[in-house]
Amino acid sequence: MSVTGMRRRAVVGLAALAATAFTAVAVTPDQAEARPKPVDVQLLAINDFHGNLEPPSGSSGTIDGQPAGGAEYLASHLKSMRAEAKKQGKGTVTVAAGDLIGASPLLSAAFHDEPTIEEMNLAGLEFASVGNHEFDEGAAELLRMQRGGCHPVDGCADGTPFGGAKFKYLSANAFKTSTGLPLMQPFGIKIVKGVPIGFIGMTLEGTPNIVSQQGVAGLRFSDEADTANKYAKILRLLGVKSIVVLLHEGGVQNGGGINDCTGFSGPIVDIANRMDPSIDVIVSGHTHAAYNCNINGKLVTSASSFGRLVTQIDLKIDPRTRDVVSASANNVVVTRDVAPDKPSTDLINRYKTALGPVADRVVGETTAAITKTQENLYQTGVDVNGKPTYQTGESPLGNVIADAQLAATDTEQNAVAAFMNPGGVRADLDAGPVTYAEAFTVQPFANNLVTLDLTGAQLYCMLEQQFTVARVLYASSTVNYVVDVDGTTAPAGTPCAGTRVVRGSLTINGTPVTDTATYRVTVNNFLAGGGDGFSVLTGGTNAVTGQIDLDAFTAYLTEKSPVSPPALDRIRTTTEVAAG
DSSP string, 87-116: HTT-EEEEEEES-SSSS--HHHHTTTTHHH
Q: How far apart are CA 374 and CA 220, in angstroms?
A: 33
Which strand ranges, in their side-by-side order, compose the sheet holding 168-170? 168-170, 127-129, 91-97, 39-46, 309-317, 324-333
In the Cβ-directed half-sphere of 17, how many Cα atoms lie within 13 Å?
Answer: 19
Other Cβ atoms less than 10 A from the Cβ of 179: the count is: 10
Beta-ladder partners of 294: 299
**10: Cβ contacts below 8 Å, ≥ 6 apart:** none
CA 193, 45, 285, 265 dihedral sign is: positive
Report DSSP state, residue 143. Answer: H
Predicted confidence at residue 159, as pLDDT, reads 84
Q: Is beta strand 309-317 parallel, antiparallel or unpaired with respect to 518-524?
A: unpaired
Which strand ranges, in their side-by-side order, compose the sheet holding 195-203? 187-192, 195-203, 242-248, 279-284, 298-303, 290-295
Write the burial class of residue 538 (CB in 10 Å: 0-12 exposed, 13-18 middle, 19+ buried): middle
Beta-ladder partners of 310: 332
Predicted confidence at residue 357, as pLDDT, reads 82
Residue type, 67: P
Q: Is beta strand 518-524 parallel, antiparallel or unpaired with respect to 448-455?
A: antiparallel
Report DSSP state, residue 151. Answer: B
Q: Is beta strand 91-97 parallel, antiparallel or unpaired with respect to 376-382?
A: unpaired
Predicted confidence at residue 29, as pLDDT, reads 46
**Residue 284, phi then psi, degrees to nearest 5:** -115, 180
Digitized pLDDT (tens) for each residue of the chain, 580 residues in all: 443 443 444 433 443 333 333 333 344 444 445 678 999 999 999 999 999 999 998 888 999 999 999 999 999 999 999 999 999 999 999 999 999 999 888 899 889 999 999 999 999 999 999 999 999 999 999 999 999 999 998 898 788 899 999 999 999 999 999 999 999 999 999 999 999 999 999 999 999 988 888 889 999 999 999 999 999 999 999 999 999 999 999 999 999 999 999 999 999 999 999 999 999 999 999 999 999 999 999 999 999 999 999 999 999 999 999 999 999 999 999 999 999 999 999 999 999 999 988 888 999 999 999 999 998 887 776 667 777 677 789 999 999 999 999 999 999 899 999 999 999 999 999 999 999 999 999 998 888 899 999 999 999 999 999 999 989 999 999 999 999 988 998 888 888 999 999 999 999 999 999 999 999 999 999 999 999 999 999 999 999 888 889 999 999 999 999 999 999 999 999 988 998 7
Closest of 224, 234, 248 to residue 102, by C-alpha: 248
The continuous run of DSSP H or E covering 422 comes out as none
Q: How far apart are CA 299 and CA 297, in angstroms?
A: 7
**494: Cβ contacts below 8 Å, ≥ 6 apart:** none
Q: How far apart are CA 59 and CA 57, in angstroms?
A: 7
Predicted confidence at residue 34, as pLDDT, reads 62
Q: How far apart are CA 342 and CA 40, in angstroms?
A: 30
**381: Cβ contacts below 8 Å, ≥ 6 apart:** 388, 389
Which strand ranges, in their side-by-side order, compose the sheet holding 511-512? 511-512, 507-508, 479-483, 571-573
Start-to-end CA distance of the chain, whole Å, equals 74
- DSSP three-state, residue 12: helix
Write the burial class of residue 20 (CB in 10 Å: 0-12 exposed, 13-18 middle, 19+ buried): exposed
Residue type, 121: N
Q: How far apart are CA 499 and CA 268, in angstroms?
A: 31
